[in-house]
Amino acid sequence: MEKTLDGFITYLHNVKKKSENTVLSYNRDLTKFIKYLRTNKITSLDKVEEKDLEKYIKELNDNGFKSATVSRNIASLKAFFHYLNNEGVLSNDPTKSLKSPKIEKKIPEILTTDEVFALLEQPSGDSPKEIRDKAMLELLYATGIRVSELINLEASDVNLKTSSILCRDGSKSRTIPYGKKAKDALTRYLEGAREAIVDNKESTILFANCSGQKMSRQGFWKLIKHYAKKAGIESDITPHTLRHSFAAHLVENGADLRSVQEMLGHSDISTTQIYANMSHSHIREVYNRTHPRG
C-alpha cells in the first residue's frame, strides 16, 4: 500500500504539479489512513469498502478533529481512489458516496494597522539576524505571500529596480509589487546581512536561519511570536495573520478584489470575497458608531 501511495505522490508532483504544501497534506492524510487500515487488518486497497471509510471518518470525528481537517482528509481519500481507478489499479471507487462535513466559514483574524506597525518596528537592531527579521516581516505584510512562499524565495526572485518579487507556488508563479518600507528593508538585508547569515556562497535561498540553512515554517513561526510578544500584541498571531491583514487592509482602503485575488494567488475569487465582507462589516460598525442619526 505504501508503494502505491508513493506512486500517487509522484503523480501529484510530476503530473498535477501540485504545490509542496498540498502534496505534504495528501501524504500525511493518506499515510495516516494506511496505518488505520493495517491496524484493522486490511492489508490491500482493493479490500477497502465504503463501510471501512465511514468508520475511519467516524474515528476522526470521535478523536476531535475539526470539520476542516476531516473535510481535507476526505478530499485526500477521494483524490487517491480516483487516481487508483484511472490507473486501473482498482475497478471500484469506495469514496463515491463520501460527503464532506459542512464547514462554517470563519472570519479570519486580522491585526489593526497600529498593531501591524508595532510588530514591524520590533526588529530594529543592527545585527544580521534583526536586519533579516525586519526584511522578512516587511515583505510578508507588503506582499501577502504565504509563509511557505516566503521561506522558499530565492535571492534572484527579488527585483529591487521594479520593487517586486517573483513568487512561485508549484507550477504557478505571480509577480507581486511591494512598497518603499519593504524595499528599504530588503536592500539593507541584501547589502551585507544575507552574506553574513548564508554560509554557503553558492546558495540561492533568500532567507536563511542562523545555521545558514533554509528557514523552516516552525522557525519563522517562533520568530513572529517573539516579535508579537515584544509589540504587546495579545491576540494569537500566526504568519497567516499578516497575510489576512494585508488583504483586509487593501480592500478596506479601496483595492479591487481582482487585484487582491491576483496578489494572494487565489484561484477562485470567492475566497477573496471574505475580505470585502469584512470591510463592509467594518464600515457598518463605523457608521453605527459615528453617524449622528445612525
What confidence tier does 113 reach under pLDDT thresholds 50, 70, 90? confident
pLDDT at 185 over 90: yes
pLDDT digits (tens, 9 = 90+) for 60-70: 888 888 877 88
pLDDT digits (tens, 9 = 90+) for 35-51: 988 888 888 888 888 88
pLDDT digits (tens, 9 = 90+) for 136-177: 999 988 888 888 888 889 999 999 999 998 988 766 788 888
Query: Residue 271 has what pLDDT?
Result: 65
Round to the nearest angstrom and report the end-to-end CA distance of the chain: 64
Which cell is 272 given? 477573496
pLDDT digits (tens, 9 = 90+) for 207-236: 988 888 888 888 888 998 999 999 898 877
SS3 at position 171: coil
Which residue is it, cell 521561506? 151
158 has which bridge partners? 165
**Residue 143 CB coordination number (10 Å):** 25
Q: Quick one: average pLDDT of 10-37? A: 86
What pTM was computed for the model? 0.61
